């Protein structure tokens, strides 16, 4: 017993020794020259106080206000998950580097835990890096979304690939973001759309363990958005091409264009739209689940049915207009997602 211990009450020393016997030093994050302890459940980290205070004002204030003495130095007890604290400390000692690994069901728990603990202790740089990593996985622009879908299909074609292993369920990510106080439509929009592609049932209650992480508010938001998206899909399928091909958009349909030819052109455009869009969607349920991806094929399908691919009564202007309208419909669908899901 050292001199300092002789000055302390025996009961206090015994209580500290009892606590110490139940604790285990972390194998790699217990530094001999550390000057403070972090206690996560039964694990002790011995670290450097200045490093923690430099990157987190929350930790700095916690250390000042809520430490007790253990082994002669200050100790802060937290209720954090041990692996989360380990990830945070490793990142702090590695120069705030966040590993931009491929996001899978195996890697997501570590990234999620790191985001939660960085949010709790207001460690901004890695928090921003993780959010940006999630934006890469669920991009807000249509072009990047298309590229991400193509990359996923490529990965799924690789030997031994299983969708359940590669794809993190979006409901888990939405719940994570809500836990971390994030409400940006830039990331939540593609996540809610991704979630909508996992739902096959129409007009029935949304259920299943995958939806369990969602709050009641977000579950309601999802159901409203899903109905709005499906309604848009159905209206786009049934909308007559004579409306889509407004004569104001087609200089060939001016006052000098004969009415009979104009009617023939409109009828052919309507027939093609019904056959290509309405017919295909009516036959395939999966088109209703992932309309953004499936509508991507419609412009090429129109081009295959009109000159010079084959003879058609369509005028020159409408031959170009039909594929363009299909692409415009798809882009409008994507850009309407924040409103569909009540995120703006």
Q: Are residues 222 and 255 in the same domain?
A: no
Torsion of CA 119, 123, 124, 128, to 10 degrees: -60
3-state secondary structure of 126: helix
Number of domains comprising the chain: 3
Q: Are residues 234 and 208 in the same domain?
A: no
| Tokens 């909308």 found at | 239
Residue 3 covered by a domain: no
Report which of 329, 281, 277, 330 is spatially closest to residue 305, judged by C-alpha positions: 277
Other Cβ atoms less than 10 A from the Cβ of 196: the count is: 23
Distance between CA atoms of residues 278 and 236, nearest Å: 9
Residue 296 covered by a domain: yes
Are 189 and 343 within 8 A, CB to CB? Answer: yes
Q: Domain containing 133: what range?
A: 107-228
Q: Are residues 206 and 234 in the same domain?
A: no
Q: Are residues 157 and 180 in the same domain?
A: yes
Mean pLDDT within 47-52? 95
Last residue of a domain, one of 164, 194, 228: 228
pLDDT, mean over the chain: 83
Residue 138 covered by a domain: yes
Asked whether residue 270 carries a pLDDT value surpassing 50, the answer given is yes
Mean pLDDT within 18-28? 82
Q: What share of the chain is helix, strand, coil (3-state, %, to 5)?
A: 60, 10, 30
Residue 146 covered by a domain: yes
Q: Which tens digits make up the pLDDT trace of 64-107? A: 998 888 888 999 999 999 999 999 999 999 988 887 667 888 88
Residue 234 covered by a domain: yes
Q: Are residues 217 and 145 in the same domain?
A: yes
Are 92 and 55 within 8 A, CB to CB? Answer: yes
Q: Are residues 178 and 215 in the same domain?
A: yes
Asked whether residue 163 carries a pLDDT value surpassing 70, the answer given is no
Q: Are residues 302 and 197 in the same domain?
A: no
Report which of 141, 254, 231 is spatially closest to residue 189, judged by C-alpha positions: 141
- Of the chain, the percentage scoring pLDDT greater than 90 comes to 48
Q: Are residues 69 and 137 in the same domain?
A: no
Q: Which tens digits make up the pLDDT trace of 113-125? A: 999 999 999 999 9
Asked whether residue 193 carries a pLDDT value surpassing 70, the answer given is yes
Q: Are residues 306 and 221 in the same domain?
A: no
- pLDDT for residue 235: 84
Last residue of a domain, one of 212, 228, 244: 228
pTM for this model (two decimals): 0.84
Q: Are residues 114 and 198 in the same domain?
A: yes
Distance between CA atoms of residues 300 and 17, nearest Å: 75
Residue 121 covered by a domain: yes
- Model confidence at 259, pLDDT cuts 50, 70, 90, reads low
Distance between CA atoms of residues 325 and 241, nearest Å: 9
Residue 157 covered by a domain: yes
- Model confidence at 192, pLDDT cuts 50, 70, 90, reads very high
Residue 16 covered by a domain: no
Q: Are residues 138 and 114 in the same domain?
A: yes
Q: Where are the strands (E) in the chain, listed by range?
A: 24-30, 36-40, 43-47, 68-70, 73-78
Distance between CA atoms of residues 315 and 326, nearest Å: 17
Q: Are residues 261 and 214 in the same domain?
A: no
Q: Which tens digits make up the pLDDT trace of 275-292? A: 888 777 766 655 568 889
Last residue of a domain, one of 228, 246, 267: 228
Higher pLDDT among residues 14 and 316, named by residue? 316
């Amino acid at each position: 017993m050292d001199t300092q211990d002789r000055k302390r009450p025996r009961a206090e020393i015994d209580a500290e020794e009892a606590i110490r016997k139940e604790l285990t030093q972390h194998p790699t994050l217990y530094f001999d020259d550390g000057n403070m302890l972090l206690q996560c459940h039964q694990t002790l980290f011995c670290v450097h106080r200045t490093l923690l205070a430099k990157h987190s004002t929350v930790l700095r204030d916690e250390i000042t206000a809520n430490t007790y003495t253990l082994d002669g130095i200050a100790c802060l007890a937290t209720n954090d998950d041990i692996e989360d604290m380990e990830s945070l400390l490793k990142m702090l000692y590695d120069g705030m580097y966040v590993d931009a690994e491929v996001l899978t069901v195996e890697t997501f728990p570590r990234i999620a835990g790191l985001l939660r603990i960085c949010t709790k202790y207001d460690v901004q740089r890695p928090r921003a890096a993780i959010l940006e990593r999630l934006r890469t996985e669920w991009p807000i622009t249509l072009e990047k979304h298309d590229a991400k879908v193509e990359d996923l299909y490529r990965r799924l074609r690789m030997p031994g690939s299983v969708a359940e292993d590669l794809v993190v369920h979006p409901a888990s990510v939405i719940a994570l973001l809500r836990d971390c106080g994030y409400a940006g439509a830039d990331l939540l929009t593609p996540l809610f759309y991704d979630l909508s592609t996992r739902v096959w049932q129409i007009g029935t209650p949304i259920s299943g363990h995958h939806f369990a992480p969602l709050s009641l508010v977000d579950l309601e938001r999802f159901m409203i958005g899903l109905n709005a998206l499906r309604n848009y899909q159905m209206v786009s399928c049934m909308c007559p091409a004579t409306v889509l091909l407004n004569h104001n958009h087609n200089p060939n349909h001016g006052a000098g264009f004969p009415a009979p030819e104009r009617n023939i052109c409109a009828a052919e455009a309507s027939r093609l739209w019904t056959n290509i869009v309405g017919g295909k969607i009516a036959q395939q349920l999966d088109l209703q689940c992932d309309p953004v991806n499936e509508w991507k094929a419609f412009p090429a399908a129109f081009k295959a049915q009109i000159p010079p691919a084959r003879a058609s009564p369509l005028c020159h202007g409408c031959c170009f207009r039909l594929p363009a309208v299909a692409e415009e419909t798809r882009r409008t669908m994507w850009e309407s997602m924040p409103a569909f899901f009540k995120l703006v």
